[in-house]
Each structure stands twice: as structure tokens, then as C-alpha cells.
Structure 1
Amino acid sequence: MRLKIKSFSFRSPLSLALLLVLLLPACAGGQEEDDSLRIGVTLYDQDDTFISSMSQNLEQLVQEEESRIGQKITLFISDSRHNQTTQMDHVDRFLARGCDVLCVNMVDRTGAAVIVDKAAAEGVPVIFFNRQPVDEDIQRWEKSFYVGASAQESGTLEGRLVAEAWTSELERWDGNGDGILQYVMLEGEPGHQDALLRTEYTIQTITDQGIEVERLARDTANWNRAQAAARIASWLDEFGDQIEVVLSNNDDMALGAIDALKETGRPLKDWPLIVGIDATAPALEAVEAGQLYGTVFNDSRGQAQAILDLAMALCHGEDPAGAVELVDGHYVWLPYQLVTRENLALFQQGGG
């Protein structure tokens, strides 16, 4: 039996209508689809490097699972392109066409309650992932789940990475020799839980080590490499070599900082310390090149595996606690890990 994977994005009302007519029957059943399992996945933005990695891992794992169990699986992946209205439309159509499980990477976490209620009304389990809804929304229904990693933990590890680098090589990183860590902070989306927690716990962990810090600037770059490059270019014009550390809520923005520094022509030995979170493939390359001091491994394949294990248990009417380790009956948490040049090879080979 052959896996069917449907991936698409909607860029206009006309293309939306045409694509839904052409593609959504694959999620509907029909005579040739009656024995298949149908999983609808909606992403907040497939251009996000980490989300793209998760999507690719999920596709590969579904192929392996289909071969293992000998049952057809239709995996239907949609790209909401940062539009909550579009995502809600995808959810409605997935439900109308009879998908067995919904997997939702929220555009706006405040919209989760509506999705939970829609899924519950149709008796369709829903698995949120990567962008965590509030607990009250998850608890609205017994078949609502979340798969992800603790934002607090990622911030703590990023802070530890910086604190260890600062204390072990103070002369290298303390450019003005005043003993104060001068930094700029690249944050994700305004009000986004992961951005808030990563920012808070990164700084708290550094200061808990007795390191005095001074924030030169902070701004959101919406997890985006190009936006981050623009922010850093502006800050380099304003602060120059006063910037000793660049803290970033994710790797794409850290890579944007690297892009901006490359444009200046400044020698690598004179760059500030730069750190990120996710351990994406481009970030690992930057660690190897000595441009990114380190990152925090966010296990995209492990999360994709947990999503699939949970979805398969729910599709077959099995106890999900037998397929994954559930916390409080609704949550699956995967750990983060530090990545530096010292242990880089382990993650280049496929993760910790």
C-alpha cells in the first residue's frame, strides 16, 4: 500500500477553492479510501525552518508506519501562512471530510478553544504541537493533547550556555573589560508564550550565576531570519562593538544575526557571542563554522514520532497512555539538550 501525502499552501481565495475541491476528497473517504487512516495536519507557517523539519520528519515516519502495519495512511498537510482565519478554515474542512485525527500547530494560541470545541463536537481527537495552547483550553476535552518541549527549559539551557562561555573565556567575550555582559535580545512573536519564557529564563539563568548584565536593545523578529538580520544591522550601527552577546529565541533569528555580521566584514574573532535554540541543520553548520557559539537541541523527529504514536493510538481507539508518556493526561514533553562544537558530531548524525 502506498502513502498519500498532501502538502499545500493557500495564497488566494481562488487557489483555496480549487485546491480544496481537488485535494480534500483524499481526506473524505470515498470507496477507495474507506480502509485508510486520515490525519489532517495544519501548520502555522511551513517556511519556519523548525516546523518544516517537523513536517518532513512526520512524512517520513508515516511512510515507515504504513509499511509496518500494512494499512494505508493519508497524511494531509496544510500551510496556514500565519493566518488564523485560514487555519480555522482548514480545520473545518478536515472535520467535514472525515479526518480521524487533527494535528494543529496553532497560528494564534488564543484560538485553540474554538478548535477543541469543534473537534469534540465531531468526536475527532486533536493533537496540538510546538505552539502550546493555555492549559484551560487543553483541558476542555479528554481527547485534546499537546506535544512539545518546555520553553522554560530551553531558556534555562541557553542561559547556561552563555554563562559557561562567559565565565570560562571572560577576556574573549568581555570586549570592554568592565565585567558586565552587554547583550541584545532577538525575541519571537509579541506575546508568544515560548518567546516570553525563553527570554525570561535565559536572562534569569545568566544572572543566577552572579553575572551582571546590561541590555542594550531588545525587539521581536517573529522567529524570522531576515527580520533578525535587519534588527542586528540597526543595532550594530547604533552600538557597534559594545554588543558582546546576541541572545536569540530561535536559530533562524541567530542566523539572521550572523548574516548581518557577515555584511559588516568584521573578522570572526571580533564577533559577539551568538546563541540560538532549535539545533536546525543550518544552525549546526554555523556551530561547526564557529559563527554560532552553540544552540539548544529541540527534537523535531522525536516530537514528530510522539505525534504519530499518539495519533495511531487514537485512530485505533487505544489508550494513548500506552503509546506515549502522558503528563497530566494531556501532555507529551520531550527534553532539550545543549549543543556546542564539543558534542556537535552527535547531533549532525541525527540527534542526541
Structure 2
Amino acid sequence: MKKIMGLLLTTLLVMSLFVGCGSKEKDAEPTGGNDSNQSSSEKDQGNKGDNSADKPKVGVTIYKFDDNFMTYTRNAMTSAAEGNAELVMNDSQNNQSVQNDQVDVMINKGVKALVINLVDPGAAPTIADKAKAADIPLIFVNKEYPEGTDKIDYDKVWYVGTQSKESGDIQGKLVAEAWKAHPEWDRNGDGVMQYVMLMGEPGHPDAEARTKYSVEYIKDEGIRVEELEKQTGMWDATKGKELMTTWLGKEGDKIEMVLCNNDGMALGVVEALKADGYFSDGKYMPVVGVDAIPEALDLIQQDIMLGTVLNDPLNQGRVSIEMAINSAAGKDVLDGLDFSLDETKAVRIPYQPITKDNLDLAKKAYGME
């Protein structure tokens, strides 16, 4: 009997050990994929069902993140990439050397296409040389190489943005029509529009064109003008406020019109004017900008800003990313897009004049409706 009991206990002990070992082996199976010696091809196969493996990595640099307009453009890029591409986004902090280094790093990380909002438009050939050496498609957005994208020695480079002269013409037309409709704006009654001009970044094609062509259009409409002050506000609201405060102290009520190369500076101008008593008790100063950012649209709605020019950030951001995705996949760069390239290899996003009468157009462009 003792022998039988001993055999039974031995059998049970062996069975329990067998079951216990089997359980540990089964629990360990999922960690097998973490073997550091696993080949890259095996990893790719393991991720075959993961959609992210099929998304191209697109490198993006923005000249500076805190620019009002480029913030909206950047958000549009992120939306366009969602589910379609992995973005590697960089803030170049308004420093071309920083941007050049960022491009080098992104290329080394294996991006399949580049979307670059240049700090210095003149640096386009340098960036293109980097992309060409790596055989990576390149899309410049918003800031255009002054000599034309077609003059850059690389067949896989394109531009998405506007026609700079057009924004100046539209702003000039908006001002001319309003001036003729409001003779009371000529405070001293001399038949001359005394104006101040806040310019964007020196050397920027948009800033140069808006400064030149807005005034030329006004003069072509038969309106006599006198430039009281003109300085760069670097696209910045704070600098715009500082300049306008200085000019009000110097020129006072002689100023009859404020022309701004962008809405960011116009917002600062409005703050300076408010501090000087404008926009209350019937004291008014017409201010115009460019971009039609939501903050400016609110001021137009309140009859504070006269108007602006729609510079469509959603389409600039969306189209540049979709072109990058197409080119990374070896497709026609405009596949699926309702746009065409002009003779300079550029997709032109049209400008639109914006006043209180058509605010809905700008709101729609900014996704506000």
C-alpha cells in the first residue's frame, strides 16, 4: 500500500512540474518579437498590417512658429497629413542657418519629401542642392525664390503660394474705392491722401510687392498721395504697435490712412490707435492689411479695420503637403488636385479682397464656418 501511495505522489509531482513549465513557455511567446537581432525586413513584415508603415515621412520647416499666418498654414498641413503622412515639423526661429541644419537632419532621418517655408527666399538654391543630393522631392511654400522656382537647378522642386503683385493691387483697389467713397477721410481737405506704410520683412518678395503695387494702384486711380512714414514692422504685431505709437506722436492727425503688408502688424496698429482715442466718439482711422486672419476679420466686423486681402492659408498648407505625398509616392505631383503649375513650376493660390460685405468668404477659407 505504501508503495502504491508513493507511486501516486511521484506521478502527481511530475505532472505538476510539466504543466508549470508549459505555462511559463506559453507566457513568454509574445516577447520573442523583441529580439534585437531581428532583421529590418522581418520587422517590416511584422508591421504589415499597421497603416503607419505605408505613410511617407515628410519633413517640414516653418520660418517661425509664432507668425500669425504661418500658424494657420501649419495647422492646415497637420490636418492634410492626418492618416496620409508622418510629419517631421520644425521651427526655424527666423534663422536660415538653423533651417539649413534642420534640413540636413531630416534628410539623414530618411524623410521622403521636404516642404520648406524659407527664412530667406534667397536660400532656395542651397536647400534645393541638399534635396537634389539626396534625390528627395522639394516643395517651397509661401516664400518664393525671387528669380523663380523654374530657375533652380533641380527637376523635383515646386512652389505653392501666391502671386505677390496681386496682393498689392487688390489692397490698392480696396483703399482707392474706400477713399473715394469717404471724402471726410481727407481731414485737411488738401485732396491728398497722407499715409503711413508698415512693411514686412526686408527682401521678402511679398513685402516688396505689397509696398510697391498698393501705392501704384492708388495713384493709377487718380488719387494724389503723400508718404509720411514707411518702416519695416517685420510682420509683427508688437513692432506694428511700437511704430504706430511713434508715428502718432510725431505726425498726429496728419495721418489719414495706414497701409500694412500683413494683418499681424495691423493688429498692433489698431492697439496703438485705440490707446490714442481712435475708434470711439467718432474718431476713426482707416487701416488695411493682408492675410484675412480671424483676428482681423473680427476687427472688420466691428467697423474698426477697413479691410484686408485673403491670403488662403488652408489651401497653401493643404496643397503643399498633398504635393509632397504625391511626389514621395512617385505620382504626378498634382495628382488629385484641382490646381495647375504655371511656367515657373508654381501653384498659385489666388488672393481675394475682404471687407465687411464678404467676411463669410474669408471665414470659410479659415474653416470658421
What are the Cα deviations for residues 229-250 of structure 1, in whole angstroms up to 9, with x where unaligned? 0000000001111100000000
Corresponding position of 2:303: 290
Alpha-carbon separation, structure 1, partners of 2:127 and 2:57: 18
- TM, length-normalised to structure 1: 0.86
Conserved 8 A contact 2:277-2:283: no
Corresponding position of 1:11: none
Alpha-carbon separation, structure 2, partners of 1:95 and 1:350: 33
Conserved 8 A contact 1:113-1:137: no
Alpha-carbon separation, structure 2, partners of 1:346 and 1:112: 33
Corresponding position of 1:38: 57
Alignment size in residue pairs: 315
Alpha-carbon separation, structure 1, partners of 2:148 and 2:213: 23
Deviation at 1:321, TM superposition (A): 4.2
The structure with the larger Rg is 2
Single out whichever of 302-311 and 124-133 deviates more from structure 2. Answer: 302-311
| Aligned mate of 2:113, from 83, 101, 107 | 101
In the TM superposition, structure 1's runs of 4+ consecutive aligned residues that sit over 4 Å from their partners are: 30-34
Residues 267/320 of structure 1: CA separation in 2 closer, same or farther (3 Å cut): closer
| Aligned mate of 1:245, from 240, 257, 266 | 257
Corresponding position of 1:343: 358
Deviation at 1:347, TM superposition (A): 2.2
Alpha-carbon separation, structure 2, partners of 1:130 and 1:100: 21
Alpha-carbon separation, structure 2, partners of 1:350 and 1:329: 25
Gaps of 5+ in 2: 1-42
Alpha-carbon separation, structure 1, partners of 2:356 and 2:350: 20
Alpha-carbon separation, structure 1, partners of 2:204 and 2:308: 20
Alpha-carbon separation, structure 2, partners of 1:118 and 1:320: 20
Conserved 8 A contact 2:58-2:86: yes
Corresponding position of 1:80: 92
Residues 110/272 of structure 1: CA separation in 2 closer, same or farther (3 Å cut): same
Corresponding position of 1:51: 70
Conserved 8 A contact 1:313-1:319: yes
Matched, 1:60 2:72: no
RMSD: 1.7
Alpha-carbon separation, structure 2, partners of 1:205 and 1:336: 16
Deviation at 1:351, TM superposition (A): 5.4
What are the Cα deviations for residues 218-237 of structure 1, in whole angstroms up to 9, with x where unaligned? 00010000001000000000
Conserved 8 A contact 1:116-1:137: no
Single out whichever of 81-90 and 33-42 deviates more from structure 2. Answer: 33-42
Alpha-carbon separation, structure 2, partners of 1:136 and 1:225: 30
Alpha-carbon separation, structure 2, partners of 1:287 and 1:89: 41
Matches within 5 A, 1:166-315: 166-171=179-184, 173-268=185-280, 269-315=282-328
Alpha-carbon separation, structure 2, partners of 1:155 and 1:163: 12
- TM, length-normalised to structure 2: 0.82
Deviation at 1:136, TM superposition (A): 5.5
Deviation at 1:267, TM superposition (A): 4.1
What is the one-letter code of the residue matched to 1:62?
A
Alpha-carbon separation, structure 2, partners of 1:251 and 1:190: 17
| Aligned mate of 2:170, from 132, 151, 157 | 157
Gaps of 5+ in 1: 1-29
Please state whether the residue corresponding to 2:170 is helix, strand or coil: helix
Deviation at 1:262, TM superposition (A): 1.1
Please state whether the residue corresponding to 2:330 is helix, strand or coil: coil
